[in-house]
Chain A
Amino acid sequence: MAKKWFVVLGVIISLMVVVSCAKKAVKEEPVVTGKAGEQAWGKPGEGAERAGVEEKSLQASLERKKYPGIEGEFLESSLLKDIQFGFDRYDLTPKAREILAQNAELLLKNPRAKIQVEGHCDERGTVEYNLALGERRANSTRQYLISLGVSGDRMSTISYGEEMPLDPSHNEEAWGKNRRAHFIILSR
């Protein structure tokens, strides 16, 4: 059991390192107001060294954001990764389950964080059917996180249908990126 945890911890730390490196290279999404990550997210873990690393990474990963035309700000963490879906599908691929397992770990370690799961679609198909599809994508994602032990009370869902593409291009690559579940942190 302890060994398993150790492995998971190792995965998370290496993931954080990769992500924060990648982030520095990319630089920089617009931060609307406030200082990103001014507070530690959740409680530190038991080991001092581990807590230090995690806290620092989480802090560094948090970004304060706002969607234009939607009330309120929220936080986004590059450690809570998007998952992708097949065309007109809402079932979870093995890869998506892997990512969700990592997301669940983070959420379990930060039990106060309330998140929202966003379901998104590509531009193909009708606006309204895509709203329904986004709803299902968000829901199947949330259900899987619940099955991994994350409390349902902490997770709301929303469907944006095809209204918020990550990539506005009209090709397979863009569509693949746009069919996703995305995670935002509403409060912590």
Chain B
Amino acid sequence: MRTYRKTMCILMCLTCTLISAEVSRARVYIDIEAPELQPLPIAIAPLRDIGSSRPDLDRKIMDILANDLTISGFFEIIPRHEFPPESEALADPPDYGRWSTSRAEALVIGGYASRGEQLAIEFRLFDLVEKAFLIGKRYEGSTKSLRDMVHRMSNEITYWITGEKGVFDTKIAFVSTMPGNKEIYVVDFDGHDLRQITRNGSINLSPAWSPDGRLIAFTSYIKRNPDLYLFDLTRSVQIQLSTNPGLNAAPAWSPDGSRMALMMRKEGNSEIFIMNRDGTRPKRVTKSWSSEASPTWSPDGRKIAFVSDRAGSPQVYTTNVNGGNVKRLTYFGSYNACPSWSPKGDKIAYCGRMDGRFEILTVNPDGTDVRRLTESSGNNESPIWSPDGRYIAFSSTREGRSRIYVMNANGANQRRLTSTQGKESSPTWSPRMDR
């Protein structure tokens, strides 16, 4: 009877998933904007094997989930020895009273089933303080997509605790010298599934992921000119896009994906241009005798931040896309570069030289509220925001050779993303894949 009730309960939760999502709205348990964020203590019950011959999957799923929630910076995983000893504590629904002495404020109870190559994972999230059921979901797919399924689960849990979905389904592309030359690689947000993308043997620079997730724009010297190429991720082919003599560099997709800002040569120096996504109709944005570099779009598509040395040293400026209303943004220090406009529009991250080393900083688009996010022994460069604006990826030489790191947008929780045998640089973030 009890088993039957349990099964019913699980079935109910599956069917009720959408309904419950409609009825109860996500409550923000932790304010991720707070300068000193207190991670939410969360317990993950051992998964139930609800019909499979794969006991090994338990560990696998748990590890991915716990790692996701930990690296998010928003959760503290409560170790199992701190769980209440009574089995009722992990019943579904849990006996909330048993948790009253625990630090855990949320509990995940889940299960999985597999048959052949088919896998189903489900979970239910409980608020142990308010003694409430929050959400339950079930994911089905091939065992090959196990990581994706768990990342979606992490996204959902993050949504219910922080008010916005996680970015565990996103990927980061970057340049690595692993093969001896600079090629482009892609890795998951959690550092898994490293893949080499380009294999042209040339010098490949400044990858930029398209807003639809299907293309990576980059500069390559294949034809003895820094030309612009697209790599089509769905077909695994490289397409030549812009080959004007001189620079076709530092591509930046407009937020709607219809246009691209880039560096191009004009009158012997580099200027910011905007062209259509097919490489046609390049239009000049900046007009100066100095060097312009590294364009980045505001999320409303109306402005561009860029680097210029028009005042004698590289500094960050903003301009309207038609070239009007140019404003200098950075004043402190003699070398400020690599701007990246946040997807919410409220911040511009950049790298600035301080005491001979580059650090990552943020500034408001009006030039106020400069904040320093890194303080390390190496150079920190090329910040790029996650699509939710909660994280920044960047390159750093803090551990010797340059590698990619990820931190929370307030500078907390800095972690190395991956480790290729080579120098890593120029990260770019994919859009959400789970849409």
Q: Which residues of A contact B (CB under 8 A)?
A: 67-72, 88, 116, 125-129, 131-133, 135-136, 139-140, 142-143, 156-161, 163-164
Contacts and interface: CB of A to CB of B under 8 A. Distances in A.
Interface in B397-428: 425-426
B284 interface: no
Contacts of B246: 135, 157-159
A131 B226 contact: yes
Contacts of B291: 129, 132-133, 135-136
Contacts of A159: 226, 246-247
A68 B381 CA distance: 27
B224 A70 contact: yes
7 contacts: A68-B181, A68-B201, A88-B309, A128-B249, A132-B292, A133-B291, A159-B226
Contact of B206 (A128, A136, A139): A128
Nearest to B382: A126
Interface stretch (B89-97, B144-152, B264-272): B264-272
B281 interface: no
Provide the main secondary structure of the chain A interface: mixed
B29 interface: no
A169 to B, nearest CB: 14
Contacts of A72: 224
A132 B205 contact: no
Given A126-B351, A128-B206, A161-B205, 19 more contacts: A68-B180, A69-B222, A70-B224, A71-B222, A88-B313, A126-B381, A128-B249, A128-B250, A128-B263, A129-B294, A131-B247, A131-B263, A132-B269, A132-B307, A135-B265, A135-B268, A136-B270, A158-B225, A160-B221
Contacts of A158: 224-226, 246
Interface string B215-236: 0000001111110000000000
Nearest to B358: A126
A12 B206 CA distance: 43
B205 A163 contact: yes
Interface in B103-148: none
B337 A126 contact: yes
B44 to A, nearest CB: 41
A80 B221 CA distance: 23
B377 interface: no
A129 to B, nearest CB: 5
Given A126-B294, A127-B205, A131-B226, A139 B250 contact: no
Nearest to A159: B247
A72 B202 CA distance: 12
Interface in B287-316: 291-294, 307, 309, 313-314
Contacts of B180: 68
Contacts of A143: 268
A187 B47 CA distance: 69
A163 B309 CA distance: 21
Given A69-B203, A135-B247, A128 B222 contact: no
Contacts of B390: none
For the complex of A and B, 10 pairs with smallest distance between CB atoms? A69-B202, A132-B291, A139-B268, A132-B270, A69-B201, A128-B250, A126-B337, A132-B293, A128-B294, A128-B293
A71 B224 contact: yes
Contact of A125 (B263, B335, B425): B335
B250 A131 contact: yes
B277 interface: no
Given A88-B313, A158-B224, A136 B247 contact: no
A111 B182 CA distance: 36
Nearest to A143: B268
B414 to A, nearest CB: 20
B200 interface: yes
Given A69-B202, A69-B203, A131 B270 contact: yes
Contact of B245 (A67, A88, A156): A156
Nearest to B306: A128
B247 A70 contact: no
B222 to A, nearest CB: 6
Contacts of B250: 128, 131
B338 interface: yes
Contacts of A156: 245
Interface in B324-365: 335, 337-338, 351
A18 B74 CA distance: 67
A163 B175 CA distance: 12
B403 to A, nearest CB: 15
Contacts of B307: 126, 128-129, 132
A132 B180 CA distance: 24
Contacts of A129: 291, 293-294, 307, 309, 314, 337-338
Given A125-B337, A128-B293, A129-B314, A163 B182 contact: yes
